[in-house]
């Protein structure tokens, strides 16, 4: 990081995220550039999970799958805590927020967790990456069925379809590169151990690309111009409050249930996220004929907010881990 940035009272990586948002607002990827950017993001995600596969032992993966308390806690946060909070928001804001935006807020609460950023932030923070990988992947696979059922139950006749393409996307972008990395692990594990910084750079770089691509898509689609400024402020405020409540409750749950620190980090990051990558294409099916751009606007805003907030949290964990490594006597 440049020396002058290190003197600022703000994390340099957060500045990079802000820079991506500004760049997308001024120079959004559109047309053929958007197609290229989509492939670049997919390639970065594939590389990230290839590296995870090459670094992670099969024993750690098996332990993550069998850690039912961890998986169950993340599942309940994603598909029970969030929906209950979403219903509360609907009751609180009915009549004071545009109906499609209110539907979007509730729909946001019914989505599965993110995969890429949940695992990347867990890795940056020094958490249980194997647990995060299994939690986030299971959340998305189950979300293909659970989310449409929750939409049909809580929102009504707009939903009910199952977006099977999501399963293929998860497989091609995440599971296949991870499996190839596992196959290459005997050849690469020692080299990666000597170049551990590489995975960290890919972690952070993939998130920057996701932010730019997502914000560009919103700018090009003109989503920001379809909503009144007052409603936009309300949605941003509701998203901040929603995320703050879930972050607080997942942090508390990890401590009350006596998880160790690496698992608490998984619960914090996987249990507080919502997937825009799953939510936007699924909305096109579940809400066909409705104002889909307005329904997905809360998801787009929440996505940006969760990235900024979790960047700050993950970097704080990383600094604490670095300080503890330099001072082993610290508790």
Asked if the structure places residue 35 within a domain, the reply is yes
Asked if the structure places residue 309 within a domain, the reply is yes
Could you tell me which residues come within 8 angstroms of residue 268 by beta carbon, excluding any fewer than 6 positions away? 247, 250, 251, 254, 313
The pLDDT value recorded for residue 260 is 93
* Count of the separate structural domains present in the chain: 1
Asked if the structure places residue 43 within a domain, the reply is yes
Q: How far apart are CA 143 and CA 5, in angstroms?
A: 40
Q: Report pLDDT digits (tens) over 86-109.
A: 999 989 988 888 888 999 999 999
Asked if the structure places residue 179 within a domain, the reply is yes
- Taking the CB of residue 292, how many other CB atoms lie within 10 A of it? 19
Asked if the structure places residue 4 within a domain, the reply is no
CATH code, domain carrying 204? 1.20.1530.20
- Taking the CB of residue 6, how many other CB atoms lie within 10 A of it? 9
Q: What is the domain range of residue 112? A: 26-316
Asked if the structure places residue 326 within a domain, the reply is no
Model-level pTM? Answer: 0.74
Asked if the structure places residue 16 within a domain, the reply is no
Taking the chain (331 residues) in consecutive chunks of 10 residues, what is each chunk's mean pLDDT? 47 73 85 86 80 76 79 94 94 88 93 85 90 84 81 70 55 76 85 74 75 76 78 93 96 94 94 82 68 79 87 89 68 48
Q: Report pLDDT digits (tens) over 56-79.
A: 777 766 777 778 899 999 999 999
The pLDDT value recorded for residue 167 is 56
Q: What percent of the chain has pLDDT over 70?
A: 83
Q: How far apart are CA 313 and CA 321, in angstroms?
A: 12
- Taking the CB of residue 259, how many other CB atoms lie within 10 A of it? 20
Asked if the structure places residue 106 within a domain, the reply is yes
């Amino acid at each position: 990081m440049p020396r002058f940035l290190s003197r600022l009272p703000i994390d340099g990586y957060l500045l990079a995220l802000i820079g991506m948002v500004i760049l997308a607002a001024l120079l959004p990827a559109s047309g053929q550039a958007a197609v290229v950017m989509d492939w670049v993001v997919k390639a970065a995600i594939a590389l990230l999970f290839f590296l995870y596969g090459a670094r992670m032992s099969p024993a750690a993966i098996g332990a993550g799958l069998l850690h039912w308390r961890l998986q169950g806690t993340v599942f309940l946060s994603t598909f029970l805590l969030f929906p209950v909070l979403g219903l509360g928001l609907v009751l609180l804001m009915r009549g004071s927020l545009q109906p499609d935006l209110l539907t979007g807020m509730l729909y946001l609460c019914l989505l599965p967790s993110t995969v890429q950023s949940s695992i990347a932030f867990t890795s940056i923070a020094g958490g249980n990456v194997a647990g995060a990988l299994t939690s986030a992947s299971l959340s998305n696979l189950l979300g293909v069925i659970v989310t449409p059922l929750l939409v049909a139950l809580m929102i009504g006749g707009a939903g009910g379809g199952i977006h099977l393409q999501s399963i293929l996307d998860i497989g091609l972008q995440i599971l296949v590169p991870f499996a190839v990395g596992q196959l290459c692990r005997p050849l690469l594990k020692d080299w990666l151990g000597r170049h551990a910084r590489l995975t960290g750079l890919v972690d952070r770089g993939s998130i920057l690309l996701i932010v730019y691509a997502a914000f560009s898509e919103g700018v090009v689609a003109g989503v920001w111009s379809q909503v009144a400024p007052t409603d936009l402020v309300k949605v941003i405020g509701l998203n901040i409050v929603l995320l703050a409540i879930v972050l607080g409750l997942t942090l508390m749950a990890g401590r009350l249930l006596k998880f160790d620190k690496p698992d608490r980090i998984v619960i914090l990051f996987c249990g507080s996220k919502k997937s825009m990558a799953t939510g936007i294409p699924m909305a096109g099916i579940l809400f066909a004929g409705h104002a889909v751009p307005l329904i997905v606007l809360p998801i787009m805003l929440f996505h940006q907010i969760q990235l900024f907030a979790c960047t700050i949290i993950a970097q704080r964990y990383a600094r604490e881990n670095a300080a503890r490594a330099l001072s082993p006597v610290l508790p």
